[in-house]
Structure 1
Amino acid sequence: MGRGWRSHGEAPAVLTRRSPWLTEDLDPIRDLARTFFAKEVAPHQERFAAQQHVDRELWHKAGEVGLLCPSIPETYGGGGGTFAHEAVIYQEQARAGDSSFGIGVHSGIVAHYLLGYGTEEQKRRWLPRLASGELVGAIAMTEPGAGSDLQGITTRAVRDGEEYVLTGAKTFITNGSQAGLVIVVAKTDPAAGARGVSLLVVETDGAEGFRRGRVLHKVGLHGQDTAELFFDDVRVPAANLLGGQEGQGFVQLMQQLPQERLIIAVSSIAALERAVEVTVDYVKQRKAFGRELLGFQNTRFVLAECATEAAVTRSFVDDCVQRHLTGELDAATAAMAKWWSTDRLCRVVDECVQLFGGYGYMTEYPIARAWTDARVQRIYGGTNEIMKELIARSL
């Protein structure tokens, strides 16, 4: 892990171990991402939070420099890299303190549904436009009455000739207000249970009956575009059925969710390490009763625990990344990585806030924003309770 991104002093030695999968050929994209977030994103955090989304132009800028779809083959307009290229971008985003730019969903999730299951025509039609930033991608799973239980969705897609008529409502959709392409989870055969779920790709521009609801006010992630989407008898070409065959949606979702959960884990451990670093900086500078806060045994013991949890979590997540790169990461281990890293993130950030005292509760301090941003990590991507259930089923 690099040290140059820090704004104060040197990173604690325990947090500077270079991940074994972080090869030298990844350094250029890591440096590019670090520079991009420092220049194009970090200075605008307050404005993004106020408007509840990033500037639309940011997507074009990211596409121009090659930060969108880095693990999509060059044939389809991507960077031709691996998940490791994705991971270093998400790390640098977390280390920059950004929680606004929804590139993880766009590049690491939406693009890979298209790559993994799309027909050749679908891949050539949509992937280059995602890679350039012409299209912003979103995936619409969650509904007002159905969250982690995807079999409980009520959105319907009824075949009518060469079209599907799509009806339903989705909520908590990342990139929702800016998305030009939305992968919608719908039931094409309500009587078939999981076998009746399909994924339809909706191009929102000019789609009659499609409308966006509120950009939702959240406890954290204030700059992230999280919206409601409504589909009122939207006619979608049958050619937009992902993969061209009905009833494959649930299998497609189950196969892709481990990568989504690994993305969350990668971002979580980077955010955890950042929280420890900024707290170490603070307690070295802040004084109480005539000495630095770091001089108090309680401060040293708390930070020792936090640094240890960071090191242990980093080792586990690194192992998961390595296994994913070789095609060996199973769903249960991905669930372990997701629940463990997000749970540790929330615990460690809370301890760090306490060491900041009253300043830790002030939103102008990065640790306060990290605290509010962290909490949802235990919920989205499947709640941590669901992760434990998945792990238990594998025992």
Structure 2
Amino acid sequence: MIRDAQTLHILVDAIAQFVDEALIPRENEVAETDEIPADIVSQFQDMGLFGLTIPEAYGGLGLTMEEEVTIAFELGRTSPAFRSYFGTNNGIGSIGILLDGTDAQKEHYLPLLASGELLSSFCLTEPDSGSDAASLKTTAVRDGDDYIINGTKRFITNAPHAGIFTVMARTNPGIKGSGGISAFIIERETPGLSLGKRDHKMGQQGAHTSDVIFDNVRVPASQLIGGVEGVGFKTAMKVLDKGRLHIAAVSVGAAERMLSDALNYAIERKQFGQPIAEFQLIQAMLADSKAEIYAARCMVLDAARQRDEGRDIGTEASCSKMFATEMCGRVADRCVQIHGGAGYISEYAIERFYRDVRLFRLYEGTTQIQQLVIARNMIRAAQR
């Protein structure tokens, strides 16, 4: 739901200009140094990017879902590492607090997240618990007015920079499934919390992940999100539904960037005395990519509008995430092919994007998990 089309248009134009003039020219620097430059982080703060989706009452811009994906289309056109740096504050790192946190938790943490003064991480995945998130082993044992937390979380985005962690832990060992899981806000300096080394990844240099280790970490009961045990997994699923739409939108933006680069290359590159864009087999790859991007964009916008209307969009979010991320992978492959041998050389952005976008099909739930969610929701609906 777009609340003010003119204001959104101004914001989108400003972010598109920022992407073109400030971010795209620094992509190689980020890839080579594996760091987001400090001056870019300051610009993120100045533009309010850390608080895009946090309500205005807490210092954010309070974007609706449709507005958010419209912005994500633009942010997707550059290295995913840029968006990842402030993305957790707008998504998985803040939404659990926003949706299910107590008033005190919202009033304390959300303004800090919106300003970028504090970075957040979302701790669900574990060494032995990835797609099967309900089998997590991290424990939170009540001890008077505190909880003592033990366990390890893996592949945690922004963990090396985060000031707070939203942590899923099992408070009731007697319940083996999702019902025994609760969510906690744990601050970085809490004794017993430590980080593993940064992960060395296939792509997305500049977007940092690591293990987060809890060794008898004592946190006050007031850090239990919502003050209620046993609803942490439900909080996580609410967070992931929104996150899946966001990643789908970013995938659309990345595909548009790759296709634009490939089209320009095909127009400029000549073989047999003419631009390769004149060859029908090249045109077929361009056309297939354009059509799939258009389809994905329409899916994302439709699902976002439904969410803004208050509908349950679990199925639609999974459909969008599955289609858009798989589409993005196909577009990446075609664009490397259009570039030919040059597409395998780091001089061209497509080589980096080819590696970067591979992750989209894995996090926020793999493609196979999306298939299961969609099918099970279909079956459940048919049996009512």
Whether 1:86 aligns to 2:68 is yes
- Matches of 2:215 and 2:195, distance apart in 1: 11
Once the two structures are TM-superposed, the CA of residue 69 in structure 1 deviates from its matched residue by 1.8
How many residues of Structure 1 are paired with residues of Structure 2 in the alignment?
376
Distance in 1, Cα, partners of 2:361 & 2:4 = 26
User: How far did residue 28 of structure 1 move?
Assistant: 1.7
Q: Secondary structure at the match of 2:92?
A: helix
Corresponding position: 1:150 with 2:116 = no
Map 1:23-102; keep pairs closer than 5 Å: 23-55=5-37, 58-102=40-84
2-side partners of 1:156 and 1:170: how far apart?
12
2:174 is paired with a residue whose SS is: helix
2-side partners of 1:207 and 1:280: how far apart? 51
Does 1:294 pair with 2:268? Answer: no
Q: Does 1:195 align with 2:195?
A: no
Q: State the Cα deviation string for residues 113-139 of structure 1 (Å, max 9, x = none).
A: 111111010001000000111100110
The alignment-based identity, stated in percent, is 36
More divergent stretch after superposition (365-374 vs 30-39): 30-39
Match of 1:16 in 2: none
Q: Measure, in 2, the Cα distance between the counterparts of 1:302 and 1:65.
A: 37
Q: Distance between the aligned counterparts of 1:80 and 1:306, measured in 2?
A: 33
Match of 1:314 in 2: 297
Q: How far did 1:34 drift?
A: 2.4
- Pair 1:125–1:21, CA change in 2 (3 A): closer
Task: Render the CA deviation track for 1:226-247: whole Å, top value 9, x for unaligned.
Answer: 1111111111111111111111
Distance 1:329 1:237 in 2: 33
Distance 1:320 1:286, change over 3 A: same
The Cα shift of 1:175 comes to: 0.6
Once residues 183 and 50 of structure 1 are traced to their aligned partners in structure 2, the CA distance between those partners, rounded to angstroms, is 30
Partner of 1:175: 158
Give the deviation of 1:24 after TM superposition. Answer: 3.0
Cα shift readout 1:80-100 (whole Å, capped 9, x = no counterpart)? 332234323322221134434
- Alpha-carbon contact 2:182-2:230 (below 8 Å) kept: yes
Q: Which residue of 2 aligns with 1:353?
A: 336
Deviates more, 1:27-36 or 1:281-290: 27-36
Shift of 1:22: 9.3
Pairwise CA RMSD = 2.0
Uncovered stretches (5+) of structure 2, i.e. residues with no partner: 379-384
* Post-superposition offset of 1:56: 5.6
Distance 1:88 1:352, change over 3 A: same
Alignment of 1:243-254 (within 5 A): 243-254=226-237
Query: Equivalent residue of 1:294, what SS?
Result: helix
Calculate the TM-score normalised by the size of structure 1.
Answer: 0.90
1:223-302 alignment to 2 at 5 Å? 223-302=206-285
Assess, with a 3 A threshold, how the Cα gap between structure 1 residues 21 and 352 changes in structure 2: closer, same or farther.
farther
Give the aligned residue type for 2:211: E
The question of whether the paired residues in 2 share the 8 Å contact of 1:320 and 1:329 is answered with no
For the 8 Å contact 1:26–1:85, the answer to whether it is kept is yes
Partner of 2:95: 112
Which ranges of structure 1 fall in alignment gaps of 5 or more residues? Answer: 1-18
Q: 1:348 to 1:42 in 2, by over 3 A?
A: closer
Distance 2:63 2:330 in 1: 34
Q: Please state how far the C-alpha of 1:360 moved relative to its aligned partner.
A: 0.5
Tell me which amino acid in the other structure corresponds to 1:213.
Answer: G
TM-score (normalizing by structure 2): 0.93
Structure 1 residue 166 corresponds to structure 2 residue 154? no
